[in-house]
């Protein structure tokens, strides 16, 4: 009996409805807040990660660049390095010669700014890739054999008419030797998720190279997820010196 009485003295439907509505409103508020917070958190983590990636990529090029023996002036680049065909809008940004410490042969190293090749696992919208062209002993670009590359030697030693896709294809060799004398490693992506607006630039000024990289973060539809302030945080520079003789 007592139980019955107590259960009869419960809440009315109206009271329940009011309580439920209030609970839904408060719950919605909390959920929206949490979702916003976590989205913001994800964005900040992404921006942090992009900044780290940019620094590491610039550091990679800086280390690679230490062994340069000749750096191409920017204006000369497009006609002096292999042409790429396995990606969209491939632009050579930085090209230099180095000497392989093991084989003592000269190698041409080129950094390209490009869009992700079809079917690749890269996001883009732009990325930087690295290509190394090794020349065999018969096609040594060091014509006078003084173990240094002069600008004349370096600029004359060009794998002209080469197209690099899955493998290098050269119709003309600058050394009068067959294209087989070139051993080309496939290009490899250095860093992904760069901006369409100046993914990487290299300004060659007297004996210094100023590298600038800009990252971006896109959704699957290709729209940028970043605000202008965040975009500003994702531009980094590195200055390094060259040893042209």
Partner 1 sequence: MMRRRTARGVSFLELLVTIVIAVILTAMAVFVLGPRLQNQRLQSVTDAIELGLQKTQLQAMRQARAWTFALDPANNRYTMFAGLPAALPVNAEWVVLPATAQQVQVVAAGSTFALDNNRYVVTFTDQGFVSALGRLQLLNQGNNQLQTQVQINQLIGVVEKRCIYEGNIQGPERCV
Q: Is 191 in the site for partner 1 (CB under 8 A)?
A: yes
Tell me if residue 52 falls in helix, strand or coil: helix
Min dist. Cβ of residue 1 to partner 1 (A): 7
Q: Which of 51, 67, 123, 156 binds partner 1 (CB under 8 A)?
A: 123
How is residue 76 annotated by DSSP? Answer: G
- Of residues 207 through 226, those in contact with partner 1 by CB under 8 A are 220
- What is the maximum alpha-carbon separation in the chain? 113
Q: Which of 99, 120, 150, 161 binds partner 1 (CB under 8 A)?
A: 120
Q: Which is nearer to partner 1, 158 or 194 (CB)?
A: 194
Min dist. Cβ of residue 126 to partner 1 (A): 13
Q: Which of 40, 56, 147, 245 binds partner 1 (CB under 8 A)?
A: 56
Spatial neighbors of 2 by CB under 8 A, at least 6 apart, are none
Beta bridge partners of 215: 194
* Cβ-contact 51, 233 below 8 angstroms: yes
Alpha carbons 169 and 184: distance in angstroms, whole number: 10
Tokens 């090749």, located at residue: 117
Binding characters for partner 1, 58-87, by CB under 8 A (x = yes)? -xx--x------------------------
Residues that contact partner 1, how many (by CB under 8 A): 19
* Part of the chain binding partner 1 (CB under 8 A), chosen from 123-131, 156-164, 166-174, 208-216: 123-131
Alpha carbons 63 and 138: distance in angstroms, whole number: 29
Q: Is 44 in the site for partner 1 (CB under 8 A)?
A: no
Min dist. Cβ of residue 60 to partner 1 (A): 6
How is residue 180 annotated by DSSP? Answer: G
Q: Which of 91, 189, 225, 242 binds partner 1 (CB under 8 A)?
A: 189
* Cβ-contact 238, 191 below 8 angstroms: no
Q: Is 1 in the site for partner 1 (CB under 8 A)?
A: yes
How is residue 209 annotated by DSSP? Answer: E
* Part of the chain binding partner 1 (CB under 8 A), chosen from 30-38, 122-130, 176-184, 222-230: 122-130
* Cβ-contact 130, 141 below 8 angstroms: no
* Cβ-contact 114, 89 below 8 angstroms: yes
Residues that bind partner 1 (CB under 8 A): 1, 53, 56-57, 59-60, 63, 120-123, 127, 130, 188-192, 220
């Amino acid at each position: 009996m007592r139980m019955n009485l107590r259960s009869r003295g419960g809440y009315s439907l109206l009271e329940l409805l009011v309580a439920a509505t209030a609970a839904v409103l408060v719950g919605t508020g909390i959920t929206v807040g949490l979702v916003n917070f976590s989205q913001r958190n994800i964005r900040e983590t992404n921006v942090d990660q992009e900044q780290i990636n940019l620094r590491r990529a610039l550091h990679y090029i800086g280390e690679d660049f230490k062994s340069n023996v000749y750096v191409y002036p920017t204006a000369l680049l497009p006609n002096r390095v292999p042409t790429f065909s396995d990606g969209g809008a491939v632009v050579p940004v930085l090209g230099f010669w180095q000497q392989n410490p093991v084989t003592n042969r000269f190698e041409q190293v080129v950094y390209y700014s490009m869009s992700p090749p079809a079917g690749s696992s890269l996001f883009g919208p732009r990325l930087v890739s690295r290509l190394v062209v090794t020349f065999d002993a018969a096609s040594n670009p060091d014509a006078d054999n003084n173990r240094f590359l002069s600008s004349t030697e370096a600029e004359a030693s060009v794998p002209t008419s080469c197209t690099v896709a899955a493998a290098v294809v050269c119709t003309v060799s600058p050394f009068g030797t067959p294209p087989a004398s070139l051993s080309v490693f496939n290009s490899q992506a250095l860093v992904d998720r760069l901006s369409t607006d100046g993914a990487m630039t290299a300004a060659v000024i007297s004996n210094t190279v100023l590298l600038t990289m800009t990252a971006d973060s896109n959704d699957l539809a290709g729209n940028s997820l970043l605000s202008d302030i965040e975009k500003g945080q994702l531009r980094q520079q590195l200055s390094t010196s060259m040893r042209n003789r």
